Amino acid sequence: MANGRRSVAQMKPGEVAIISELEDDILSVKLMEMGCLPGATIRFNFSAPLGDPVCISVSGYELSLRLEEASTISILN
C-alpha cells in the first residue's frame, strides 16, 4: 500500500485497527453489508494454517475473508 497505508491482510493476530476506506468499488458493497464500514473497529483474530483465509471481528461479527478481499480494506493504526 502506498503512503504507509496498511490493509487488513497485513495485520497480525490480536491487532486492532480502524477501517479507513474500502478500495474495491464492487467488493466494497459486499464488505459494507457484512459490517466493514469506514470508522469501524476491526480485530484480526487469526489466519488459517496456510495463511488464507483470515478471521476478523467487526461490528459484532466474526468474518472469514480471503487475503485478496482483506487486502482491499485499508486501516489506520
Would you place residue 3 in the very low, low, confident or very high pLDDT band (cuts 50, 70, 90)?
low
Q: What is the pLDDT of residue 1?
A: 44
Residue 44 burial (10 A CB sphere; 0-12, 13-18, 19+):
buried
Segment 17-70, tens digit of pLDDT: 999 999 999 999 999 999 999 999 999 999 999 989 999 999 999 999 999 999
pTM, entire model: 0.88
Q: Which three cell numbers stand for residue 75?
A: 486501516
The pLDDT mean for the chain works out to 92
Query: Rounded to whole angstroms, how far apart are CA atoms 21 and 13?
Result: 21
Domains present along the chain, CATH in parentheses: 2-76 (2.30.30.90)
Q: Where are the beta strands (DSSP E) in 1-77?
A: 6-7, 16-22, 41-47, 54-58, 61-65, 73-76
